[in-house]
Each structure stands twice: as C-alpha cells, then as structure tokens.
Amino acid sequence: MEDHATYKAFAARESDPRRRNVMRGLAAAERHHAHLWAHEIGTLDERKLGYSGPPEGLAPVNAKENANIDSQLQHLKIHERSEIDRYSKQMHTLKNEACHKILLEVIADENEHYKALSNLIRARPPLPMMDGSQARKALATLLAARKKRHLEAAGWLNDAVYAAHDGLGSIFGIVSGVAGATFGKSHYVMIAGLAGMVGSALSTGTGAYLTARSERELYEAEIVRERQAVDYDESESREVLALSLQVRGLPEDVAERLSHLLAENKEGFVKALARIRANVSEENLSDPWRAALTGVVATAVGAFVPIIPFFFLSGMPAIASAAVVSLCAHFAVGASKSLMTVRPWWRSGLELTAFGAVEGLTTFAIGIALGRMVGTA
C-alpha cells in the first residue's frame, strides 16, 4: 500500500499523460498485490488490516526534492529490485501453496514494474543527477541483480582458468614427449614434468605480476599526461573529449554537454579523458600480487595433473593413464571457460579436449622419434 500511495502521488504530479497513465497502472498493480496478501492473511488472522503510512508513500513532500521526478524514479527502480530480491527469498521460507502462487504473480509484476520504470526514465532527458556515493550504491545494486540473472566469473577466476590451461597444456606436452622418448620410464617423466611445472608456474606468476604492475604504471602515466594537458589548456581538453565521444556515436550536442559537465570536476574530467582516449580505467586494474599468486597456483595445479599417474605406474599403463587423466582435465578446464563466455560448456570442453589430444599425440610421436635418434647415435 505504501508503493500504491507512492505511484499515485507521482501520477498526480506528472504532466505527461502517457507517463501519468503508466504510473497509475503501477499504483493499481501495487494495490492489487496488497489485496491479495490481505485476503490470504485474513484466512489466518481475522484482524482488520489497513494502511497507516504517509499518504504520499515514498514520494517526497518537499517541492524542491520533487523537482526532478526522474531522479526519484531511479530510486524507485532500485527499490523495486530490492523488493524482487525480498520476494524471491520468501519463496524459500513460505511453504504455503497459496502464498507461493501469490509470490509468483507478484514477482512477475515487479519485474514488469522495473522495466516500466527503466523505460520512463529513458524516455525523458536529462538523466537523473546523483552524487558519487548514490551512483556507486545504484551501480552495485544493478550489477548484483544482473549477476543473479546471468552468472559472471570473477576477474581472478578468468586468470586462474587460463593459467591452469597453460600449465596443463605445456606440461602435458612435456610429459608426452619424454614418455615417448623413454617408453614411459616414470623417473625420467617425473623429473622433466616436475621441473617443467615449477618453471612454468614461476614464469606465469612473474609474467602476471609484471603485466599487472605495468598496466597500473601505464594508467598512472596516462593520468599524469591528461592532467598536464588539462592544466595547459582546459578548453582544448573539453573539445578533445567531446570529439572522442562523437567518434563513439554520441550526438554532437550530447557530447558537448557531457564534456562541459565532466569538466566541472577536474579529477573526474582527467579520468574520463584517460578512459575515453587511452581506454584505461582504475576499475579494470588488477592487483599485481593477487595476479601473481593466481598465476602460480593455477599453473602448478594444471601442470601437476599429467604427472600424477607416474607416481604410481610406469611404462604404457602410466602413459595411457596420463593421457586419460590429462584429457579429462582438458575437458574440465574447457567447460569452466563457459563461465566467461556464452558458449555451451560441453562444446568448450570438447574443443579443448581435441586440442589436447592433438598436442599429446604430436609430442608423443616427436618423443619416440627423438628417442630412436638418440638411441641410434
């Protein structure tokens, strides 16, 4: 009922008839939700239920606060998202079948409300103004909701998967080659495999650390260059940013207005120039030590897999076991890559398994040939 009062208040203040009708529809839907719950609660408790909150709900009563309705609608959109999350949690706690039926209807309606508010906000410029903390909170809420709908892999997980693939692929090649040259003599394979594992892990970790640190240094250098350019000629920098935004598809008037708005905050202006011109941003920087640790551990884990059978077996049984274990690991790593792509997990797994099989057969054949050549010599 509070949401009903809120949308009703906004509808009364809206001058655009189309937007006013949408808000009235939202208000009616919220009242319907309240009636559904009131009826269900009434079957359990005979007390009279009534709304005793503010007559205008969450709508501001201050005329100054109400000046930018789009800004208030943005907050309502975030509120709708939190309501969807709350109702979704209730699906697991309320076991009553009637409650489940209501929740399914309410969640579907709230999702439509979220989309309707998004369309209302997009339909009328200017964009709602927020300070930094409000924007960060709104962004965090929206990204959290997006991750619930579409799972995304964390940045470190991406690095770990690729590092594990590198370690697995390189050491599988070494193990196959040495096994082919020595006909699976376990001590030779283990020495070569373990030495390769340590070298590969350290190399990957060092490379990840240096890459992350280099990216950070390049970002800091670009910030310094852009700050110097702004200090030297701010009007030129505004023009550069406006033209860069136009190149990326913004209309000229929007690009000009956005450039002037960003220039009001010097640090934000400098960072925007660095992001648009050099495609660098602080949010995309990795922590060097975390990147190094991820690279070392993931590479070592992937590299250790092909060596495992040679701790227990020797000869052809060890070679066959290593091949099976390594190809299964290739499939697992390939399937895990689907967390970062939109491809089916089984297709990614089979693709990497095929590459692993070709790599293993090739290096095994090369190992046999080299073993015979050395033995002949």
Domain ranges within the chain, ordered by starting residue: 1-59+67-122, 153-374
**Residue 163's closest CA among 214, 213, 210, 197?**
197
Region of 249 on the Ramachandran plot (φ > 0 left; ψ -120 to 50 alpha; else beta)? left
User: Alpha helices of the chain — where are they, by DSSP H?
Assistant: 2-13, 17-42, 69-93, 97-122, 132-149, 155-182, 186-232, 234-247, 252-263, 266-278, 288-304, 315-336, 345-376
pLDDT in tens, 194-226: 999 999 999 999 998 999 899 899 889 999 999
pTM: 0.57
Do 327 and 306 meet the contact criterion of CB atoms below 8 Å apart? no
Q: Give the pLDDT of residue 298.
A: 92
Question: Tokens 């690991």 map to which residue?
Answer: 329
Q: What is the 3-state secondary structure (H, E, C) of 280-322?
A: CCHHHCCCHHHHHHHHHHHHHHHHHHHHHHHHCCCHHHHHHHH
Q: Kindly state the tokens that stand for 270.
A: 């400098």
Q: Give the pLDDT of residue 336.
A: 84
Instruction: Name the phi and psi angles at 347, rounded to 5.
Output: -70, -45
Q: Give the pLDDT of residue 128.
A: 47
Q: Give the pLDDT of residue 306.
A: 93
Domain over 1-59+67-122 is classified CATH 1.20.1260.10? yes
Do 269 and 262 meet the contact criterion of CB atoms below 8 Å apart? yes
Task: Compute the distance between CA of residue 141 and CA of residue 362 in angstroms, rounded to an integer.
Answer: 50
pLDDT 10s digit of each residue in the chain, 377 long? 989 998 898 888 888 888 888 889 999 999 999 998 888 888 877 777 788 888 888 887 764 444 567 677 778 888 888 888 888 888 888 878 888 888 889 888 888 888 888 787 765 544 444 555 666 666 667 666 666 654 455 556 778 888 888 889 899 999 999 988 888 888 999 999 999 999 999 999 999 899 989 989 988 999 999 999 888 888 888 888 888 888 888 888 888 888 888 888 888 889 888 888 878 887 778 888 988 999 999 999 999 999 999 999 888 898 999 999 999 999 998 888 777 776 788 888 899 899 989 988 999 999 888 888 876 55
Do 310 and 193 meet the contact criterion of CB atoms below 8 Å apart? yes
Task: Compute the distance between CA of residue 73 and CA of residue 54 in angstroms, rounded to an integer.
Answer: 18
